[in-house]
Amino acid sequence: MHSDHALNFRHRPRRLRRTPALRDLVRETHLSAQDLIWPVFLCDGHDVVQDIPSMPGVQRLSIDRLIPAAQKAADLGIPAICLFPYTDPSLKTEACEEAWNPENLSNRAIRALKAAVPNLAVMTDIALDPYNANGHDGIVRDGHVVNDETVAALVRMALAQADAGADILGPSDMMDGRIGAIRDALEDAGHCDLTIMSYSAKYASGFYGPFRDAVGASGALKGDKKTYQMDPANRLEALRMIGRDLEEGADMVMVKPGLAYLDICREVKDTFGAPTYAYQVSGEYAMIEAAAANGWINGDTVMFESLQAFKRAGCDGILTYYAPKVAQMLAKG
């Protein structure tokens, strides 16, 4: 005889948690390899693999080493790869001309990937920081990042990547009006079917540090990026930025960083219904890896939990350095 008369025994939620099979049947959020975009770092040279100390397990790859890694990712069901170049400091200038060089590292990698792994979508980064002597996403004049001159440069960069065969362009610069300018230029150049995933709500975050190490922008950066990236305190501004970029011709939108901005992800998806992505950025990755290396957390468990959080918050996909590892684990069941 049960004495706990306060409990209504008709409703026992634990019934559905009793076994793995029952938990699987009622799971609301499902993660698959098809949800993942793999960000990779490029470097020049042949047969080069360079460890990134602040991102354990992540390397810069030369193009010849990238190709088999990309083929493996495609074989695991990962639909897209996103390229970030480590640019030789000698090629960095204040005018950022290397950004639209048809033979720059990114554009050579795009052509190589499309030739070798044609079923893998290639996403690019559109911002000037890898090519900028000042380390900023835009051109600097008299100590200020100038908007319209930067947009003109970004358009040239976008067209070079489109000509190289990119599938998805990822403007990550946060300049005003760049999505409309890039979209118009693509249409005029006959690239009518090219997809834009806009970094629409990109915050001036402290989570980017290891990424800047990976692309060699940390030492070059003068000042901060708060005049063009968003204030982390702002929510409604993110919705305005998303709405603007969709109106200007973005096909997909992104919130960056990820876990600290899940409220933004949910509101963006609920408000606009557009394809919504989040970037699990370098600092998030590094925190999980560091805590796991110290034995403070189970790294694989937290990795999966973090990725499920993005899906639960409404994201259609996630850019994550864990993509190959997760896809391989999912394939094994």
**Per the structure block, which two tokens stand in for 31?**
């993660």
For the question of residue 202 being annotated catalytic, the response is yes
Among candidate residues 92, 225, 256, 311, the one labeled active-site is 256
Pick from 197, 292, 174, 211: nearest CA to 40: 211
- Annotated active-site residue 325? The verdict is no
User: CB of 98 within 8 A of CB of 92?
Assistant: yes
Name the catalytic one among 202, 225, 269, 311.
202
Among candidate residues 209, 259, 202, the one with its CA nearest the CA of residue 234 = 202
Task: Report how far residue 159's alpha carbon sits from residue 90's, in angstroms, rounded to the nearest whole number.
Answer: 24
The residues that are catalytic are 202, 256
